[in-house]
Structure 1
């Protein structure tokens, strides 16, 4: 558990987390705090409701129930005592803290003109624990190689939430930047990190290792950031997380036509689900991506499948033992 998370936790929750067995703490993925409702922990693909002594309760009703004051304190610390300065983050429903940990928020929404103006009376927090897992992309990268061009294929990484997309592309950025047997000398990598999760920058400097030839635009909207990166840093490979809007798709199209290889992630169980989203439909219909990486999970067992988008299976690449990948 990192200091950036520990320092945020309300005293009651912090005390419980400190009493957890090391094997749970090491695999902790989420801490879900809901006002007046049971504290929930997600670890290693499992979930549990701990009591005040840090023991897992037999029933949710027996677990520790965070109160109103604890939730107020947590939100105050998250926003550094200024809700106004975090208005944009509250509107989006999450805040990213040092270390790339994302805290999802839920509560009462205020509307203006039919659109979300602010999230108020926050009563649910999902603290998602980010970790760097070096090597989790080692078995995947060789399957993404465009060997005649000595670079990588345009690649879409697809999975439901919390299957390891961000962790994988973080390691791919590092490997492509450092260089491998398939990519001697490495390539110039640009990362557009809208949610500050891939690189976990502090004052613009990545705290995760993304390799020696990687440049990061932190906290920048993807569509605008991709164009800025192309104009300013001349990347050979551009990496972005969670393509979701038509503007994102247009920027991907522009980057590809500028001779830059793209690695992007999106939510979805399969191509049918992905193609149901307007932002991805055009890119998929026009055959822009030539490699598909699908991530799956069964408890603590992760599975990675790499395919040509024409449907031919290349082979299955399994994540290294002990990998605790998660979308950070």
Structure 2
């Protein structure tokens, strides 16, 4: 939480520091809304701060000004591109979402002014999260085309991040050799790059295109970086489908995530239909909120054979 504390004024930092360690270690989001209660959200529930006090702390305009000043390094003009996207990535790979008065020009978002809400999303690298899946998504020391499906906050990005690390470093116990990995990180969330430098550990054989549209990025990597594996988060557009098919036909393994309530929900999307018709993905991992919280079975499905369920635990 050290990097996150730097973003916050003393008035908020002291309330966050007073949260018991067993709760603070599970914080996923810190919600700073001007004129409203200070809130933290964990894997289990949300809390208003100060913790265990009846009257919550109301975030002031001065608090908001401090956060914005820190993020912009005292010059809002430095954030022009970030304000168009609605979020800023800070040291440590944490991402700060922004909400306020949106400025548009010819129907396109030009930026955000009068920012009234900050959502600090805590980035954690869970090394080992991908280990339970390796025996099912690798075969004869080769990685298989894999799609990770699940609704928000089920650990898709965390799992994908660790699979990228394992692919780059290799794993002796599974007989997996290091591969050249290319990551297209359109939202600066997967690698959490700051000034082009990833804030998470991916080993030595990783090349990252930060803030690059997924479809264009995949083609750029194939043309210029010769990846053996391409990692991409949150596919969904028709051009993403086309780029994935191009990558597979070029002999590159693709591992991707997609938002969806379940596999059936994802299958029904017109923009992704070709991927299933062409059996692009050899393995599909389904995550859900209950499995994440309770560490209960998660489905790993083989799309080239009769679908079956494999019981594993997320670590």
What is the total number of aligned residue pairs between the two structures? 311
Residue number in structure 1 paired with 2:78: 85
Q: Compare the two structures and name the one with the higher helix fraction.
A: 2
Which of 306, 315, 327 aligns to 2:310? It is 315
Offset of residue 183 of structure 1: 4.2
Which of 101, 105, 110 aligns to 2:98? It is 105
* Native 8 Å contact 1:296 1:302 kept in 2: no
Residue number in structure 2 paired with 1:212: 204
**CA distance in 2: counterparts of 1:313 and 1:65, whole angstroms:** 51
**CA distance in 2: counterparts of 1:139 and 1:300, whole angstroms:** 17
Show the 5 A alignment for 1:1-328.
1-2=1-2, 4-51=3-50, 55-58=51-54, 62-147=55-140, 150-180=141-171, 181-298=173-290, 300-303=293-296, 304-309=298-303, 312-320=307-315
**CA distance in 2: counterparts of 1:203 and 1:183, whole angstroms:** 35
- Indicate the larger mover: 21-30 or 107-116: 107-116
**CA distance in 2: counterparts of 1:49 and 1:307, whole angstroms:** 40
**CA distance in 1: counterparts of 2:91 and 2:117, whole angstroms:** 20
TM-score (norm 2): 0.91
**CA distance in 2: counterparts of 1:254 and 1:57, whole angstroms:** 56
Offset of residue 278 of structure 1: 4.1
Alpha-carbon distance change, 96 to 205 in structure 1, aligned in 2, over 3 angstroms: closer
Offset of residue 251 of structure 1: 1.7
Secondary structure (helix, strand or coil) at the match of 2:202 reads coil
Offset of residue 286 of structure 1: 2.7
Structure 2 unaligned blocks of 5 or more: none
TM-score (norm 1): 0.88
Secondary structure (helix, strand or coil) at the match of 2:312 reads strand
Offset of residue 12 of structure 1: 1.4
Secondary structure (helix, strand or coil) at the match of 1:127 reads strand
Secondary structure (helix, strand or coil) at the match of 1:317 reads coil
- Indicate the larger mover: 244-253 or 166-175: 244-253
Question: CA RMSD for the aligned pairs?
Answer: 2.0
**CA distance in 1: counterparts of 2:77 and 2:175, whole angstroms:** 46
Alpha-carbon distance change, 182 to 314 in structure 1, aligned in 2, over 3 angstroms: farther
Larger RCO, structures 1/2 (Cα 8 Å, 6+ apart): 1
- Indicate the larger mover: 309-318 or 223-232: 309-318
* Native 8 Å contact 2:184 2:209 kept in 1: yes
Alpha-carbon distance change, 250 to 56 in structure 1, aligned in 2, over 3 angstroms: farther
Offset of residue 157 of structure 1: 0.9
Secondary structure (helix, strand or coil) at the match of 2:82 reads helix
Secondary structure (helix, strand or coil) at the match of 1:300 reads helix
Secondary structure (helix, strand or coil) at the match of 2:70 reads helix
